[in-house]
A and B are shown apart, each in its own frame.
Chain A
């Protein structure tokens, strides 16, 4: 299995631009998580989906952030408009209800820089 796939790996954009981050979870996993990681705030859960349905979006910072999961193999996290304080590494992770543990498998992350 290729693991969790994220694209792009790096994104540099200017303030006010729209940013779309993409994630393909591990095949067969039914939970998907979006995280943001910064030095100041550590690893923050933004939103998670179970069977493509958003379950908890309490970590989404504000209305500028939105996430979708149109099917079991694809999710997007959109920031519109982007701001410099959104600069961070964004991780997508997936997990399966069927394993012995409910550990999360992380993608390589997208490093976002908003100028």
Chain B
């Protein structure tokens, strides 16, 4: 079945450093969603990308969808301790509402 590979699994940064997580698929994606889960919390929707080459920004977060729609990235500029958590990518499985999830990238930020 369809899978999405997310790397790295863990990332430890010093506050102020940048952070990037990548999501890759072997098949062309219709769209990709990104979620954030704080420690002890639940996944919260951040954004959806649909168009080839799309770039969206939310303050210090930049989301990109590859030209071939097979990969995506989430980049955080100048991390803060509030960025701590696990970032997941998720993609639609076929013509239904089911999402296929990456394993997530856990971000730790040293103050």
* A residues apposed to B, CB below 8 Å: 31, 33, 42-43, 45, 48, 50, 55-56, 91, 93, 95, 97, 101-109
Contacts of A42 in B (CB 8 A): 101, 103-104
Contacts of B44 in A (CB 8 A): 106
- Stretch from B16-24, B57-65, B91-99 contacting the other chain: B91-99
Query: 12 A–B contact pairs at CB < 8 A?
Result: A31-B97, A42-B104, A43-B43, A45-B98, A48-B97, A55-B98, A93-B43, A103-B45, A103-B48, A104-B43, A106-B43, A108-B42
* B residues apposed to A, CB below 8 Å: 33, 41-45, 48, 88, 92, 96-99, 101, 103-104
Q: Contacts A42-B103, A43-B88, A43-B104 known; A102 to B97 CB distance under 8 Å? A: yes
Secondary structure of the A contact surface, majority rule:
strand
Is A102 within 8 A of B92, CB to CB?
yes
Contacts of B43 in A (CB 8 A): 43, 91, 93, 104, 106
CA separation between A97 and B101, bound complex, in Å? 20
CA separation between A15 and B6, bound complex, in Å? 35
CA separation between A50 and B98, bound complex, in Å? 10
Most buried by A among B44, B96, B97, B104: B97
Is B97 within 8 A of A50, CB to CB?
yes
Interchain CB contact (< 8 A) of B96 among A55, A91, A106: A55
Is A104 within 8 A of B96, CB to CB?
no
Contacts of A109 in B (CB 8 A): 42
